[in-house]
Structure 1
């Protein structure tokens, strides 16, 4: 994980799994659990091979843009906009939702509180007042993300319950105590 000092409230992953977090998102995260939601989401993009999917889709979309332009005589930018609105953006929102789900399950299995993901998106919704409508975005709205995550919470809590989080919490406490005694 690499932290970039910038006010941007975002994070991203590149193929190969390197995660970049802008420091501006840390206040939105609020807690370790909120940061786990962000990191889980980004790692999930890599696990689900979303970058490879986007590259494959680009090869399909280019001929559509050209065909649309030739068929209706529209300029390239207009054809691209139509294809983006009809195909690219909904597909991207689907990937984002999939990453939200996978990331939520991963954070729960890693003994982080999955409810923190709902709180994260509530804070993000507040921070992004005036954002464009969802149909113009590559991401689901923060409000819609909260609703979906609420639906997934029972499954996430079930996974968390099966992950021996009590044992993990004790180990974290032991580690913090040992770390505090280090002479630096």
Structure 2
């Protein structure tokens, strides 16, 4: 809130209504209705959305032209809410602790400077783990959006438009997200 508080659209703004309507339907089928969900729309050209632990949903206005419809927004919000359903933030915390312990152990045996260890663990463990979480969130998100009566086929158009908008994105192996052009498995 300290970073984007000045750019958050008021609840009565049409974009806020649009996002909240879709978010409420996805949350309702998620099995996580007990959380105190908050929906915030940030007036910013960034093409992104995220959910913080505890049910804090943030959507940047820059992604709205890419999602275009409620079905398209449901693909994005289903994915983001799926991270909460799957408890990915807790998984990441556990994995990070293991990686830290591995770095310390490897430093005794291989690389006292940590450089090799950091690269090995970053590209060999952390990024693939993050990509696995992203694929799992895609899968769960598609189920959530379908259960909320949105058309999962809309996700195809969203990811095509996102790929077009992100032509300058880094190669997949340098990213925590799978490529937008990669088929969903």
Q: Kindly provide the CA deviation profile for residues 134-161 of structure 1, in whole angstroms up to 9, marking residues without a partner as x.
A: 11110100011xx21xx6xxxxxxxxxx
Shift of 1:74: 5.3
Tell me, yes or no, if structure 1 residue 120 matches structure 2 residue 126: no
> Aligned partners of 1:101 and 1:92: how far apart in 2?
14
TM-score (norm 1): 0.75
State the match for 2:59 in structure 1.
21
- Give every structure 1 segment of 4 or more consecutive aligned residues whose post-TM-superposition deviation is greater than 2 Å: 66-79
Shift of 1:4: 1.0
What SS does the aligned partner of 2:47 have?
A: coil
Shift of 1:42: 0.7
- For structure 2, list consecutive stretches of 5 or more residues without a partner in the other structure: 1-38
- For structure 1, list consecutive stretches of 5 or more residues without a partner in the other structure: 152-184
Residue pairs, 1:1-184, within 5 angstroms: 1-73=39-111, 75-144=113-182, 147-148=183-184
TM-score (norm 2): 0.75
Higher helix share: 1
Tell which structure's C-alpha radius of gyration is larger: 1
> Aligned partners of 2:88 and 2:167: how far apart in 1?
28
What SS does the aligned partner of 2:181 have?
A: helix
- Aligned residue pairs total 147
> Aligned partners of 1:69 and 1:135: how far apart in 2?
24
> Aligned partners of 2:56 and 2:76: how far apart in 1?
14
> Aligned partners of 1:72 and 1:16: how far apart in 2?
40
Q: Against the structure 1 CA distance between its residues 129 and 43, is the aligned structure 2 distance closer, same or farther, given a 3 Å change threshold?
A: same
> Aligned partners of 1:70 and 1:131: how far apart in 2?
36
Shift of 1:75: 3.0
RMSD over aligned Cα atoms: 1.4
